[in-house]
Structure 1
């Protein structure tokens, strides 16, 4: 199936855009943790101009739905909804964790990937994925936010070799004590270049939503913090 899909992501420190036109992908990506709002729309304009098409010619628009930073996920879905409303496009939310699994396959040919994003507060956003024969990914664990110590105690060993992806592995050494055979990758962040391929599978299955129905995935519903003295 030929498709024209624009994907964007700002859920982590990485800001990225990718445009799939049939079998060609146009990409922009930059680690810019405080400049997402400045960079994302110019990136969109650049890939559209490079491909010589307009938003109205797209079949769908994909976005990184999380998990990730609260602000980053909100930016991602807000920009996606605005573009989708303006061009009357369906939306496809893509897991940032699954996108990193796809990134490991793109870079290393990995078919078993364990992903962990540093969620702060001594926790990680966690997910494991196995690539299927048709190129899609099957989640082995439900995506969750969890303390590394609990993950280690609950994990069941298996005989597969798992590529690791995400910032959580460097942030929490305890993850290296998981009863898994692991191999490190250089994939630290999700990238729209990988989201656009996942989105193509979802589009073929008809898994799209309207701009009004698009929703983020935070995993952590509440955030606690220590208030300054006298401001309790």
Structure 2
């Protein structure tokens, strides 16, 4: 199984190529308006965009929540390729991909993982997950939460925390998994699990998730 995955939902651009059990990845941090072009990303994992799409089993991308413009452009770009190449296109929650990455840093076989992504100075995208023998399971719907409300979770010693949208005092917690920030690699791993279920992933159904309406889109 060979899966190309992309995550450009935050202040970084990340690309991975999963080939069997091996994953080749590249991630570059930057300001949201300074993203590298597609050819630069492809080149950093030695992916030939002229020929290698024909050898893929699927394409996957982080669907958000995150940067509105980056998510929309990525989805449109990959939908076109998936349609032409007749490939499954798998949209993976950005919050779930961070939880997947965080789970690798937890020694316990079962654990609760709370994930946030910064939306603005006062709000964050939020979702809770459970690590168990089946992998990562969602335990509540993705939502937008005020920073004050997120502070209430910090006293729960049974939770692990990951992501960029937590109050500053969380950084002192021993349960804060600062290494798990999001990348294309967990997107590929989740996509592989989804593809193994034999579910059909049509490109037209692979849509971004914003949760918040961008200011310029509001009436």
Asked if these proteins are the same fold (TM beyond 0.5), I'd say yes
What's the C-alpha RMSD, in Å, of the aligned pairs?
Answer: 2.7
Q: What is the match of residue 216 of structure 1?
A: 208
Is contact 2:24-2:45 (8 Å) kept?
A: yes
TM-superposed CA distance for 1:82, in Å, is: 2.9
Matches within 5 A, 1:42-191: 42-49=40-47, 54-109=52-107, 111-120=111-120, 122-134=122-134, 136-152=135-151, 160=158, 162-169=159-166, 172-173=167-168, 176=170, 183-187=175-179, 189-191=181-183
The number of residues matched between the two structures is: 210
Structure 1 117/22 Cα, relative in aligned 2: closer, same or farther at 3 Å?
same
Is contact 1:15-1:39 (8 Å) kept?
A: no
TM-superposed CA distance for 1:47, in Å, is: 2.4
Question: What's the TM-score once normalised by structure 1's chain length?
Answer: 0.79
Q: What is the match of residue 195 of structure 1?
A: 187
Give per-residue Cα distances to partners, 1:113-133, cap 9 Å, x unaligned: 211111115110001211221
Q: Which segment is superposed worse, 115-124 or 143-152?
A: 143-152
Q: In the aligned structure 2, how far is the partner of 1:147 from the partner of 1:22?
A: 41
